[in-house]
Amino acid sequence: MSNIQAYPWEAPISEPAATLAGRFSQLVPELVTQRLTLRAPTLADFPAYAEILMGDRAEGLDGPFDREAALLDFSQYVAGWLLRGTGLWAVERRSDEALLGFVLVGMEYSDQEPELGYLFTEAGEGQGYATEAAAAARDFALRDLHLPVLVSCVDPANTRSARLAERLGAHLDVAASDADTQIWRHAPVVSKGPLS
């Protein structure tokens, strides 16, 4: 049985709904770095997102998840663009448009402050892509959207994620952290003016 048969909500979108979805996607800010494009996620990106959340990579993210929970998580962050003006980006390598992972600026129901998150595939790790993408998302959130604060919530066992937060210039907020979650605070970025 194919994934489409087992999970009909993952089936390709038919017209004219696909056109409407495409128009909404065009409203998500596209961020371009030296090597990467951060773009609006599509339904076709969900299998890669699910693979991350359903595997060992999700242990520091309250996972692993089942496929339904992964879809709910994906949908929540995609919907954030309409509800809060922040959300999930798919991260592609510019040279070949390979999907490497995802970065997000969002708020889950339990969050106290906007969060910068990053989830990368195995192929997207170890080459500085996560740092490059997360820095672009951080700068956009703080400089262009004027968010007053941005944090990364890290499982203490996830030392790679903590090192990434450090590379981004975040500092560990010991007072806000607990045994289950480290709170890394990202420094404000100098504003270039309002979002155009």
Architecture of domain 26-147: 3-Layer(aba) Sandwich (3.40)
pLDDT, one tens digit per residue, over 82-111 is 999 999 999 999 999 999 999 999 988 777
Please tell me which residue, 157 or 98, carries the higher pLDDT value: 98
Is 70 exceeded by the pLDDT of residue 191?
Answer: no
Q: What is the pTM of this model?
A: 0.89
At residue 25, the pLDDT reads 92
The pair of structure tokens assigned to 174 is 């010991």
The mean per-residue pLDDT over the stretch 101-125 comes to 90
Question: Span 178-190, mean pLDDT?
Answer: 86
Residue 57 DSSP one-character state: G
Q: Check whether 190 has a pLDDT greater than 60.
A: no
Residue 166, pLDDT score: 95
The pLDDT of residue 170 is 96
Residue type, 27: L
Q: What tokens appear for 31 in the block?
A: 């961020």
Domain limits, the chain? 26-147
Q: What is the mean pLDDT of residues 21-44?
A: 95
In DSSP terms, 147 is beta-bridged to none
Please report which confidence band the pLDDT of residue 55 belongs to, taking 50, 70 and 90 as the band edges. Answer: confident
* Distance, CA of 18 to CA of 22 (rounded, Å): 6
Selection from 6, 25, 8 nearest residue 87 by Cα: 25
